[in-house]
Homo-oligomer: A and B are copies of this chain.
Amino acid sequence: MRNEERRERLRTALIDAAERTIAAHGLSALKARDLAKEVGCALGAIYTAFPDLDALILAVNLRTLALFDRAIAEVRLAPEPEGPATPAEREAAIDTLVRLAVAYLHFAASNPARWRALFQHRMTGALPDWYLVEQGRLFHAIEAPLRVLRPDLSETERALLARSLFSATHGLVSLGLDEKLMALSERVLRGQIETVVRALGKGLARE
């Protein structure tokens, strides 16, 4: 079917345009009419490719998550020791946690509008599967060093703790970059994140 191909072309063209708009002017600048004008299609055509604008935003967010995945790929490469952890290995695990958090900050600071769109977007119903899968990837990266620091935790407890560490880091980045609380430079913010995450790792480590 030629038809399916055209639909797919429209889909990617729409995602491209939406991504450009969001990256340049933020999520609130995304208008259906502007979008149609930019990709050279009719207003209604958008709704033949996506059920609504939310779905389009979700597609853009998937790309952002993929970008972020590549951004923390090297940090994830850290080798995972086995057996009882030496003090040096514990230090290395804490360093990995810090590097992950700093990588998160750096990504958010480098792609502010794209990153904001991930969270500004108010989910109506349940999130799609692929969204959760992509999220899980990040959490797994956090769980690895946690396994070194806290081998006593069950898999479930560790997963929960990983989510909490992410949430704390997200709070630092989110309120730090938003001028809502106070605008901090990425430099200062990195210092704070290093301090906090390192303290967290130190305090969590089982001695």
Q: A residues within 8 Å of B by Cβ?
A: 28, 119, 122-123, 127, 135, 160-161, 163-172, 174-176, 179-182, 188, 192-193, 195-196, 198-204
Number of copies: 2
For this complex, 17 residue pairs linking A to B, each with C-beta atoms less than 8 Å apart, are A119-B180, A127-B180, A161-B192, A161-B195, A163-B175, A163-B182, A164-B172, A167-B175, A167-B176, A168-B169, A170-B171, A171-B174, A195-B204, A199-B203, A199-B204, A200-B200, A203-B204
- Give every chain B residue within 8 A of A172 (Cβ-Cβ): 164, 167-168, 171
A181 / chain B contacts, CB cutoff of 8 Å: 135, 163, 167
- A160: which of B161, B171, B192 is its contact (CB, 8 Å)? B192
**Bound: A172/B188 CA distance, A:** 22
Among A160, A193, A198: residue with most chain B CB under 10 A: A160
